[in-house]
Structure 1
Amino acid sequence: MRIDRIGRFVPHDARDRAEWDRLRDFCARWGLAAFSRDPFIGGHVTGSAFVLSPDGQAVLMTHHAKLDRWLQLGGHCDGIADVRFVALKEAYEESGLTRIALLSEDVFDIDIHEIPARGAEPAHLHYDVRFLMRAEAGEPKATAESKALAWARLDRLQDYTQAESVLRMARRVRAWA
């Protein structure tokens, strides 16, 4: 299955098919505005990077400063309609790594989740499109967006997060390998 401006995704199960359909419908309804940061259309597309260590045994996690929880790297498209590019750009900006390889052109995972209202911004959805990557050079350095960065072993990821959306990606990496 393919969505213009996002790419190809091979669903693993009914959950994947439902998330992909919701993403496709959102993009069809809003066009390029789906990639903006306008919360008043009900949400926006975001891009995430599940960045594996060079040996593939760990993932780089960020302790998000605003959300105060461990997440994969990623962020808003801010009007850029190339989600793969956004995910890679965010991975570089948030990690301090100097070379990151995209392991597949295909979408690795989709997760649609609600962002609570904050200030004048209403609650809205993030249509998060995730790509699988591998660190090839550089040392992780936390930025202002992070309290810390850590290489979390895939078999111990639950020590950092209980979020099913993150744990699901670790299971997919083990199946992918």
Structure 2
Amino acid sequence: MKFIHQIEAYCPGNPQEEADKKFILDCLRHQPDIFTRNNPMVHMTASAWVVNEARTKVLMVYHNIYHSWSWMGGHADGEEDLLAVALREVQEESGIRSVHPVTEEIYSLEVLTVDGHVKRGKYVSSHLHLNVTYLLEASEADSLHMKPDENSGVAWFGLKEAVEASSEPWFKERIYPKLNARLNLSSL
């Protein structure tokens, strides 16, 4: 499977990513239906860290379920091309059309806990998202539109302000700073 090779080739940037890479590979090899939500415990997701052309801002949405400004992304829902999933989710959630990968390589890996919640009137039990993040670029000139069933805001933030805008402790402390640090260190 091409996707397993991409994960295997990914070079973790910190201990969290090392542990999460091993966990994701184990799940890919041993868990059924991992690319669909039919597996109620663990499934693949894709996220995007969307930056402007100058790489000084990040595009975020105000997530209705988590009541926080956040990156964009979503479930694979049977699609094994997670870059395509990330691109689709950004377009759906922000209305932006001029978005493209800075690189097709994986930008970051995370195993994310999802607390039980109600979505579209149905209770969803707590589970894990095996998340692959991609670095995407979009134009600030493109028009933005909310997706009211998922978010109630779409906006560009400075890199530091994007972290501060989040109210989710794990993302604010560990995920978004890691993505910004990688952006500042890369020559992409």
Do both proteins adopt the same fold according to a TM-score greater than 0.5, normalized to the shorter chain?
yes
Match in the other structure for 1:35 = 35
The superposition leaves residues 68-87 of structure 1 with CA deviations (integer Å, 9 ceiling, x where unpaired) of: 11110101111111111101
Where does the alignment leave 5 or more consecutive residues of structure 2 unmatched? Answer: 167-171
Contact 1:5 1:83 in 2 (8 A): no
What SS does structure 1 have at the residue aligned with 2:53? coil
Where does the alignment leave 5 or more consecutive residues of structure 1 unmatched? Answer: none
From the superposition, tell whether residues 5 and 35 of structure 1 become closer, same or farther in structure 2 (CA, over 3 Å): farther
From the superposition, tell whether residues 68 and 56 of structure 1 become closer, same or farther in structure 2 (CA, over 3 Å): same
Q: Does 2:159 correspond to 1:149?
A: no
From the superposition, tell whether residues 69 and 163 of structure 1 become closer, same or farther in structure 2 (CA, over 3 Å): farther
Contact 1:5 1:82 in 2 (8 A): no
User: What TM-score comes out, normalization by structure 1 length?
Assistant: 0.89
Segments ≥4 residues shifted beyond 4 Å: 5-8
**Percent same amino acid at aligned positions?**
24
Distance 1:9 1:174 in 2: 19
Contact 1:62 1:148 in 2 (8 A): yes
Q: CA deviation at 1:56?
A: 1.2
Q: What is the count of residue pairs matched by the alignment?
A: 174
Match in the other structure for 2:79 = 80
What SS does structure 1 have at the residue aligned with 2:91? helix
Q: Does 2:186 correspond to 1:172?
A: no
Contact 1:5 1:81 in 2 (8 A): no
Distance 1:115 1:129 in 2: 15
Q: Does 2:148 correspond to 1:122?
A: no
